[in-house]
Structure 1
Amino acid sequence: MSDEHTAELRRLAERCFGWPELSDEQVEAMEAVVAGHDVLAVLPTGAGKSAIYQVPTLMLDGPALVVSPLLALQHDQIKGLVDNEVPEAVAINSAQRAKEREEAWESVRSGAAAYLFLAPEQLAKDEVVADLAELGVALVVIDEAHCVSAWGHDFRPDYLRLGSVIDRLGHPPVVALTATAAPPVREDLVRRLGLREHREVIASFDRPNLHLAVRRHTDDHGKREAVLAEVRALTEDPATRGGLVYAATRRDTEFYADELTKSGIRAAAYHAGMNGDDRTRVHQAYRDGELDVVVATSAFGMGIDKPDVRFVVHASAPDSLDSYYQQIGRAGRDGEPARIILFYRPEDLSVQRFLTAAKAPEDTLDAIAGALRSHGDPVSTEDLSDEVDAPAARRTRAVNLLEQAGVVTTDEHGELAYTDPELPVDQAREQALEVAGRHQRLIRSRVRVLSEYADTTDCRRRHLLAYFGEQLADPCGRCDTCEAGTASAAPADSAEFPVGDRVRHAEWGGGAVLAVDEDRLTVLFDDVGYKTLSRQAVLENDLLRPAGTFTEA
């Protein structure tokens, strides 16, 4: 990258967006985009990920396609672009009337719009991809890219179609953006998106202004009372007045919001069961400072752009450390101190196991496999939807499972085909169910890793960072375990099993070393998920070896 290009990026950032300074990570990623590389950027919430595509687009010959999972998130990003001296930004989605969609397409075709926002569901439509191919898309941006990975905490089946869409567009440069992706998730999404000779820009996951704490409880009533008392105290203090409370269920969001409102706190519930207008009103009221507290399920997260959130309280344990990190990342985006408190009762983890135990769609697997096998020739997703009577999300999940099992393939036109006409439908279903079973084991193992974070007496920040492949040698001094004096001085040298190395276990197969502590290792195994092993037992019994050294049975 020439100094001239770098200077132009900085000039455009200041003149068009009013950003006089760019971080080293932003500049590194932007330079790679302009040079034509695929880029994976993992930057914390509030670090300016959107700038990585917004500025380079002004130097490219063609529009940027931005794949974004939520309409509210698209709306906020478009609003931010409209407020600056840049070409038009438009969205195309199912909530629009036909005339609005056509006007948006025309804006892009004419060159008036340089940014086109789509939800991944739109890209499942052949006609949409065909229209995009005619536009000469210069850049494909995958926002919230961790949704691509089945190892990620917010896996979205529609995101799995993006790799084939990128190929159908001629594979222009791709930018994958996320705030939370452990090393195995990064490897998985690179593979699924088909990134080529990509560059990775990974910022530190450490947020030193966030004070981490866990409150452990044994009974539900006592925990609820403690959550309410904590939030009341935080909102009474001017230094910590505004915040978020995350609850496990819709009913719990309404319970806590009602109780806080009775205490004179401006609080509101937010969950996916509310209609869109009500969710928008809560979102805007919170953003505008008309609410002190939003009590939400995980539906409230992506796209929340409020810099002065002073606390995040979890009334129950979330489903994984990935979810937890993303949700607490809403706090302290202005760099000022914020309080992070997890109220934890081991029994609550059974709720998370239930909430994440989605059963594989066996009947839809049979229907899709049978339809594709009988056709022989490739079939479009639209034709398949006419033949298989199931909701779109269920069909998409079934197709993805069959693809991951190697039973179905997608060609360059986005059409689906049965790979082996001799393979019976029931065997195809069983292979897909095996893939679904591995995913469920992974989900359950993530819940266990979350419980280990809650139970640790070592430095809580060090434990959290290790999960994302970042080593913190000494206790942070800014978490409850450090303040209690239980955190150890420093982990022992991890030379035997470097973080990121591939290893094999005789029973559990291959995996990647995720974290090494003084007395234990955390490994993400391909087939059984996360396992925490005693370091002493591993060394004494030779339980792990470099990948490839075990003889397969």
Structure 2
Amino acid sequence: MTKLDHVDGFAALCEALSGARDPASFKLKDPGGERMRRALKDPEASELDLAILLRQVLLAAPGGPVDASAPLPLPRPVGATALAAAGLKTVHGQRVRARAWRPPWIFQTEFEPDAVAAQAADRRFGIGDLGPQADPFVRSLGHDRYRSVGQRAAVRAALLTPAGRSLVIDLPTGEGKSLVFRAIDRFGFATSPRLDAQGVTLVVVPTVALAYDHENACRTGEDEYLAYVGTDADRRARILERLAAQQSGLVFTAPEAAVGSLRPSLIALARAGRLKALVLDEAHLVDAWGTGFRPEFQSLSGLRLELLEQAPVDAAPRTILLSATLTPETLDTLEVLFAAPEPLELLSAAQVRPEPVYYVAPSSDEPTRHRTIEEALLRIPRPAILYVTKVADAVQWAMRFRDLGFRRFAAFHGDTPDEERIKTLQAWRDGRLDLVVATSAFGLGIDYPHVRSVLHACVPETFDRFYQEVGRGGRDGRTCLSLIAPTSADIRVARGLNRERVITTGRGLQRWSAMFHHPDSQHLGGHRLRIRLDVAPGPDEDDIDLIGERSLQWNARVLTLMARAGLLRMVGGVAQEEDASGVFETVEILDTGHLEPSVWTSRVEPVRADIAAARSRNLALMLRHLKASDCPSVLVETLYRADRILAGCSTCGLCRSNPAIARPQPLRTEPASPWAAPPVNPPLADLMTRGELVVTYAAEASGGFAARRTAAALAALWACGLRLLRFIGVPPLVFGRALADLAELPIMIGQAPTRAASRLPSGPEIVLVGQNAGFRLATDVRQPRVVLLPQGYADPDRPGEGLLERYNGSTMSLEALLGRLST
């Protein structure tokens, strides 16, 4: 069914509201209108739910909200009470209009905040900001274009990662990080000497819901299990069977399973050279959660080293760390945990998010905050998320939602059962939920693009957390609303949470000594130890019973602190007897003074102080945002470092009150790949003179035979190491047909007269010259290349002469090249 555009869609929706048209007879392109259309057929939708969605449709109506009106919903009557609560007024008896909403926390000269979000103006992926043409291998995954130049750079850099190395990719929310591991799974790595997509790509995700989300997006049939999560024994057994048989494909799992029940299978795959990559999705959580309540995130570093030790050198798994928000401190943690034995490389395409429109309500008491949030919930466009810090607050707000009259809502927090979480996320993706009250984990990595409003009835303990949560809105590149309504009590809670993750040096040494001397800890030879983590911090009366989950988390933080200080490194797990109990980590001691207070003072204390200071700075940025005296984009650049994030303008009160100070959106630039393409291999390398070979082709050749021969030549060049193809001028159609036939080969394409302008990675390349392109042969070839030149190509500087008449390098025809490379 064809989706109606904005104007026709609004007219059709009005007909449906009046009862003149069945809502099931059409669909709308506009997400807000489509949500309203579907809600008309939803028996769970309340009158208030429908009234708020109707208000959203009117605010986004063609021509603007001032004169827009719509019929009263006849198929699903909405009473006067619900209409008034949602800010709608009846006109001429049978039609409604939206009243203007001017809350006290906006400037009186501003546009209404709900209208700004409902109209969802293009901010990042508009018509004039189409992404670049996709490489042929990406087109075979169903994408005609990359989402952005950043996504193109990320995919290319990932596929060029050398065996055993680690790459961090910092790519903005909404730009498709999942394409990275899908490409790895489908094509393998372009650094391999031959096409070999066989093997397993392990993707570690932070939540069960995200694992299922990726599975649904990637699997080819409903009976294909890719997510090793949950309690379904059959699902887990079938995935283990696939791994035991060394079958290729993606596997999504949590860090606990990766370092636990999956570990033997992963080691077996690594030994066989069949584990292609370890991918960490939402890698910033290694620092944010791994040093707190989920230490297995950091135990992944030890598992990685173990896998590298077991794998053949030329088939060692790559480590790809994906994130949209990386503070310098988080990057330092990733460097400590995942760099060895060689340095970590970073590809950063980060930019200040242009979609959020920021509002800050004045700090107040709890009753006033409740009124502020409730008033906003009765106006703001859907879908909307209300974030809180405490589980109890989420529960209370959910009860209040029901009292107000909402029905299309859910609560999502730490006590929500897994099955309910999955149902909530599915309903959210399907558009059956308009509102969710949640703690921080909701929305993490879930690719739902159309969230229009994000509210905070709390103060996050870091600006990093706040920015990530705001980032759940506007993933479609369109404006979204951010409103935070703080209280003084919130700030006290935020300060407490901010402080609690940084242990003192004395207490850290005490905990390390307890782990080191525990009878279940054992020496494994050399400097390696098997350390038990779930132990009490000491024998004192106040400590002896501290052996629960909380103590385990603190002990995990101690190991991370020691690793960052260079006292040890985590190197993996060890096999245990089936009846063994406890939580263990294998570490390698790097400093024999690891039990000396003086060493902790000189080595650990500076690191601990830096961590504490960084968290304090992070909270300070959050508090500066509450004062509304700084542009949020400046705070973002301060947090993530201005030299690693593209500046921009986030719409805030400062630029709304004085548009002259708003910064223009900068042009995106493509980051350079940290890796070069692989070197040229024999026999092609033997055919080159001074790193260059000119191959002539018949420009007039056409038809299926010519396309097949051209494809065979390009495939032969690929087999000799050439992964980069640069067009100069317009290539003959036969090359386009040939490349379409080679879509399973990771060939990276650029079109520009110079190498720098093409934005291709460095390394050997194929230069395909079209007719009359004004091409000149260089006297100094800096990187090996094969030039594909039309037969009889004229010298642009010497009329009447061919370009090759004075060339003294190696030349041959395309057919001759094919013959030489086929022998």
Q: Same fold (TM over 0.5)?
A: yes
Residues 208 and 418 of structure 2 are in contact (CA less than 8 Å); yes or no, is this contact kept in structure 1?
no
**1:494 alignment counterpart:** none
**1:21 alignment counterpart:** 145
Q: Is 1:245 the counterpart of 2:393 in the alignment?
A: no
> What is the distance in 1 between the residues matched to 2:155 and 2:531?
40
**1:41 alignment counterpart:** 169
- Of the structure 1 ranges 201-210 and 121-130, higher mean CA displacement relative to structure 2 is found in 121-130
After superposition, what is the alpha-carbon deviation per residue over 1:402-456, rounded to whole angstroms, capped at 9, x for unaligned?
4445444445776335566676587788887886565444333321221012224
SS at match of 1:139: strand
Residues 246 and 298 of structure 1 are in contact (CA less than 8 Å); yes or no, is this contact kept in structure 2?
yes
Q: Is 1:192 the counterpart of 2:344 in the alignment?
A: no
**1:544 alignment counterpart:** none
> What is the distance in 1 between the residues matched to 2:444 and 2:573?
32
Aligned residue runs from structure 1 range 127-206, under 5 A? 127=264, 129-135=266-272, 136-149=274-287, 156-170=294-308, 171-194=316-339, 196=342, 199-206=345-352
Residues 246 and 314 of structure 1 are in contact (CA less than 8 Å); yes or no, is this contact kept in structure 2?
yes
**1:370 alignment counterpart:** 517
After superposition, what is the alpha-carbon deviation per residue over 1:310-330, rounded to whole angstroms, capped at 9, x for unaligned?
100111221212111211111
Counterpart amino acid of 1:396?
A: A
SS at match of 2:249: strand
Q: Is 1:483 the counterpart of 2:660 in the alignment?
A: no
Counterpart amino acid of 1:139?
A: A
1:134, distance to aligned residue in structure 2 (A) = 3.0
Q: Is 1:338 the counterpart of 2:480 in the alignment?
A: yes
Query: Residues 460 and 173 from structure 1, CA distance in 2 versus in 1: closer, same or farther, beyond 3 angstroms?
Result: same
Determine which of 441, 445, 448 is the counterpart of 2:617.
Answer: 445
After superposition, what is the alpha-carbon deviation per residue over 1:383-414, rounded to whole angstroms, capped at 9, x for unaligned?
73698865454553343344445444445776
Counterpart amino acid of 1:19?
A: H
- Of the structure 1 ranges 72-81 and 109-118, higher mean CA displacement relative to structure 2 is found in 109-118
> What is the distance in 1 between the residues matched to 2:534 and 2:463?
40
Counterpart amino acid of 2:416?
A: M
Residues 528 and 587 of structure 2 are in contact (CA less than 8 Å); yes or no, is this contact kept in structure 1?
yes
Residues 267 and 292 of structure 1 are in contact (CA less than 8 Å); yes or no, is this contact kept in structure 2?
yes
**1:522 alignment counterpart:** none
Residues 291 and 556 of structure 2 are in contact (CA less than 8 Å); yes or no, is this contact kept in structure 1?
no
1:351, distance to aligned residue in structure 2 (A) = 0.6
Query: Residues 56 and 304 from structure 1, CA distance in 2 versus in 1: closer, same or farther, beyond 3 angstroms?
Result: closer
Residues 293 and 553 of structure 2 are in contact (CA less than 8 Å); yes or no, is this contact kept in structure 1?
no
Q: Is 1:207 the counterpart of 2:353 in the alignment?
A: yes
- Of the structure 1 ranges 428-437 and 201-210, higher mean CA displacement relative to structure 2 is found in 428-437
Residues 410 and 424 of structure 2 are in contact (CA less than 8 Å); yes or no, is this contact kept in structure 1?
yes
> What is the distance in 2 between the residues matched to 1:276 and 1:44?
28
Determine which of 187, 198, 205 is the counterpart of 1:68.
Answer: 205
- The alignment yields a C-alpha RMSD, in angstroms, of 3.9
TM-score by length of 1: 0.74
Query: Residues 487 and 187 from structure 1, CA distance in 2 versus in 1: closer, same or farther, beyond 3 angstroms?
Result: farther
Query: Residues 148 and 180 from structure 1, CA distance in 2 versus in 1: closer, same or farther, beyond 3 angstroms?
Result: same
SS at match of 1:371: coil
1:175, distance to aligned residue in structure 2 (A) = 1.5
Counterpart amino acid of 1:311?
A: S
Q: Is 1:90 the counterpart of 2:231 in the alignment?
A: no
1:120, distance to aligned residue in structure 2 (A) = 1.8
Query: Residues 462 and 299 from structure 1, CA distance in 2 versus in 1: closer, same or farther, beyond 3 angstroms?
Result: same
Residues 568 and 589 of structure 2 are in contact (CA less than 8 Å); yes or no, is this contact kept in structure 1?
yes
Residues 450 and 475 of structure 2 are in contact (CA less than 8 Å); yes or no, is this contact kept in structure 1?
yes
After superposition, what is the alpha-carbon deviation per residue over 1:237-280, rounded to whole angstroms, capped at 9, x for unaligned?
xxx22210101211221222222322222332211022222222
Query: Residues 348 and 276 from structure 1, CA distance in 2 versus in 1: closer, same or farther, beyond 3 angstroms?
Result: same
1:488, distance to aligned residue in structure 2 (A) = 5.3
1:113, distance to aligned residue in structure 2 (A) = 3.8
> What is the distance in 2 between the residues matched to 1:8 and 1:333?
21
> What is the distance in 1 between the residues matched to 2:298 and 2:646?
37
- The aligned length equals 477
Query: Residues 89 and 30 from structure 1, CA distance in 2 versus in 1: closer, same or farther, beyond 3 angstroms?
Result: farther
Residues 133 and 144 of structure 2 are in contact (CA less than 8 Å); yes or no, is this contact kept in structure 1?
no
Q: Is 1:50 the counterpart of 2:195 in the alignment?
A: no
Counterpart amino acid of 2:497?
A: L
Q: Is 1:116 the counterpart of 2:251 in the alignment?
A: yes
Residues 140 and 172 of structure 1 are in contact (CA less than 8 Å); yes or no, is this contact kept in structure 2?
yes
Query: Residues 473 and 79 from structure 1, CA distance in 2 versus in 1: closer, same or farther, beyond 3 angstroms?
Result: closer
Q: Is 1:416 the counterpart of 2:563 in the alignment?
A: no
Query: Residues 428 and 134 from structure 1, CA distance in 2 versus in 1: closer, same or farther, beyond 3 angstroms?
Result: same
After superposition, what is the alpha-carbon deviation per residue over 1:172-216, rounded to whole angstroms, capped at 9, x for unaligned?
222110011134433442343107465533224233232112112
**1:462 alignment counterpart:** 634
- Of the structure 1 ranges 431-440 and 112-121, higher mean CA displacement relative to structure 2 is found in 431-440
Residues 292 and 553 of structure 2 are in contact (CA less than 8 Å); yes or no, is this contact kept in structure 1?
no
1:222, distance to aligned residue in structure 2 (A) = 1.0
1:364, distance to aligned residue in structure 2 (A) = 4.7
> What is the distance in 2 between the residues matched to 1:189 and 1:213?
33
Q: Is 1:400 the counterpart of 2:528 in the alignment?
A: no
SS at match of 1:149: helix
> What is the distance in 2 between the residues matched to 1:45 and 1:144?
11
**2:583 alignment counterpart:** none
Query: Residues 474 and 81 from structure 1, CA distance in 2 versus in 1: closer, same or farther, beyond 3 angstroms?
Result: closer
> What is the distance in 2 between the residues matched to 1:8 and 1:350?
50
1:302, distance to aligned residue in structure 2 (A) = 1.0
1:281, distance to aligned residue in structure 2 (A) = 2.6
- Of the structure 1 ranges 453-462 and 153-162, higher mean CA displacement relative to structure 2 is found in 153-162
1:296, distance to aligned residue in structure 2 (A) = 0.7
Identical-pair percentage: 25
SS at match of 2:236: helix
**2:435 alignment counterpart:** 293
Counterpart amino acid of 1:301?
A: G
> What is the distance in 2 between the residues matched to 1:231 and 1:306?
20
1:29, distance to aligned residue in structure 2 (A) = 1.9
Q: Is 1:328 the counterpart of 2:463 in the alignment?
A: no
**1:315 alignment counterpart:** 457
Query: Residues 440 and 128 from structure 1, CA distance in 2 versus in 1: closer, same or farther, beyond 3 angstroms?
Result: farther
1:309, distance to aligned residue in structure 2 (A) = 0.8
SS at match of 2:411: strand
> What is the distance in 2 between the residues matched to 1:330 and 1:243?
10
Query: Residues 103 and 8 from structure 1, CA distance in 2 versus in 1: closer, same or farther, beyond 3 angstroms?
Result: farther
> What is the distance in 1 between the residues matched to 2:647 and 2:257?
47
Counterpart amino acid of 1:160?
A: Q
Query: Residues 382 and 78 from structure 1, CA distance in 2 versus in 1: closer, same or farther, beyond 3 angstroms?
Result: farther
Query: Residues 247 and 387 from structure 1, CA distance in 2 versus in 1: closer, same or farther, beyond 3 angstroms?
Result: closer
SS at match of 1:332: coil
Structure with greater helix share of residues: 1
Residues 451 and 473 of structure 2 are in contact (CA less than 8 Å); yes or no, is this contact kept in structure 1?
yes
Query: Residues 116 and 443 from structure 1, CA distance in 2 versus in 1: closer, same or farther, beyond 3 angstroms?
Result: same
Counterpart amino acid of 1:327?
A: E
Unaligned runs of 5+ in 2: 1-131, 189-195, 309-315, 537-546, 575-585, 664-823
Residues 40 and 176 of structure 1 are in contact (CA less than 8 Å); yes or no, is this contact kept in structure 2?
yes
SS at match of 2:330: helix
After superposition, what is the alpha-carbon deviation per residue over 1:484-512, rounded to whole angstroms, capped at 9, x for unaligned?
2398578xxxxxxxxxxxxxxxxxxxxxx
Task: Determine which structure has more spread, i.e. the larger CA radius of gyration.
Answer: 2
